Each structure stands twice: as structure tokens, then as C-alpha cells.
Amino acid sequence: MNYYGEVVARLIEELSRLPGIGPKSAQRIAFHILNLPREKAFDLANTITEARKTVKYCQVCQNLADADPCHICEDEARDRGMIMVVEDPRAMAAYEKTREFKGLYHILHGAISPLHGISPAEIKIKELLTRLGGEELHEVVIATNPTIEGEATAMYLSRLIKPLEIKVTRIAHGVPVGGDLEYVDEATLARALDGRREL
């Protein structure tokens, strides 16, 4: 049933297709937008249009950026000897926030998942391989998510890259900093024990 009129119903429907937004949130957001000053609502719409128009994949690291190559790939100050492989731009942003990694990134845009029908050909692995020829490169850090799909992708990449005589590493699994052991799951505790280091 349409209690609001056709345009409002359409707005609610379009919003409810966004990830993490159910029909109730979509209603709430729709009425928020309708109550915004006109310019604010138009700004939002224009930003969506502009972003979708201008943002492209960086042909080097596959990040979504408004420049190609993106500003990280272009940055002369970064260490061209290391590439960190992540599943998505959010993971890259998370590592950038740490300021601990000075190398380059490669964004796969997904992970291998036979269950969801995602094969290695469907994520940006081919594009990664073309980057491995450079003289300077000496290490690929695999920072896919600690999930079944992320681990499978890490294994797959390691088997693919090791024969090229490039060091392949995986970020450590263990107990999160600041966490309480009581609330850490068993798999993580086991991995933490397994990965123990001498002090």
C-alpha cells in the first residue's frame, strides 16, 4: 500500500535497497531528506551523481579514487618494495589510519568464495599479478579479512606468488589489543597461542 504518494514511496524504496538499511530506516531517512532545506537535499543528490561520474578504479591498485593513478600510487614517498593486498577500500582506509604501513596497496574488491560463486577471475588478482614484475618489489603482505573466504584467498595468492620468488606474508592473527581474553573466541585464542613470540 502507498500511504505517502508515489514519489515518497519511490524514495523509500530506493533507500531501502542500500546496504544495512531496512524499510523502517528507509522511511526515517526519506522523511529526514524531505524535511531538509532544499539545497541540502540537492547537495546530497548532486554528490551522489558527481561521485558516481568521477570516481573510477585506479588502474594500478584498483582503489576507487577520483584520480588515476590514485594519490597513493602516485606518492613518491611511499615504499615501492611492498604491496599490501586487501579485500576492499575500507580495509585500506583502516590500515592508512594506523600510519604504520608505508608501502602500496592492491584492492581485490572481494575474496574467493566458491559458495557465493566468486572465482579468482572475478576479483582483481590478474591486475595484482601484472604488478609483480618490478625490480623493487620484495614483499606482498596479504591482509584479506580473517574469514574463511579471506583465508582461502590468502592461501591461493601465496601459492600463486611464492614461485615468483617474492616474499609473501600474512598479517598476524591473535587477541585484539585492549580485549579481554574471556570474550575472545576459541579459534582466535588458538591462533594467538600458535603465533606466540619470544619476549
Closest CB to a second copy among residues 35, 130: 35
Return the C-alpha cell found at 107.
Answer: 584492492
Concatenating the DSSP letter of every residue in 99-156 gives T---SEEEE-SS--BGGGTB-GGGTTHHHHHTTTT-SS--EEEE---SSHHHHHHHHH
Report in angstroms how near the CB of residue 22 gets to a second copy at its nearest: 10
Among 16, 33, 69, 158, binds a second copy (CB under 8 A): 33
Report in angstroms how near the CB of residue 86 gets to a second copy at its nearest: 12
Report in angstroms how near the CB of residue 80 gets to a second copy at its nearest: 19
Q: Which stretch binds a second copy (CB under 8 A): 26-34, 112-120, 136-144, 158-166?
A: 26-34
Among 92, 111, 128, 157, binds a second copy (CB under 8 A): 92
Closest CB to a second copy among residues 66, 189: 66
Q: Does 100 bind a second copy (CB under 8 A)?
A: no
Q: Does 118 bind a second copy (CB under 8 A)?
A: no
In order of 107, 109, 128, the CA distances from 71 in angstroms are 14, 19, 18
Report in angstroms how near the CB of residue 34 gets to a second copy at its nearest: 5
Amino acid at site 89: P
Long-range contacts of 112-121 (CB under 8 A, 24+ apart): 112/149, 112/152, 112/153, 112/156, 113/149, 113/152, 116/149, 118/149, 120/156
Closest CB to a second copy among residues 23, 179: 23
A 10 A CB-CB count for 35 gives: 9
Report in angstroms how near the CB of residue 141 gets to a second copy at its nearest: 17
Cα angle 48, 51, 54 (rounded to 5 degrees) comes to 145
Return the C-alpha cell found at 86.
Answer: 586487501
Q: Does 14 bind a second copy (CB under 8 A)?
A: yes
Binding region for a second copy (CB under 8 A): 1, 3-8, 10-11, 14-15, 18-21, 25, 27-36, 38, 41-55, 63-67, 70-71, 88-90, 92-93, 96-97
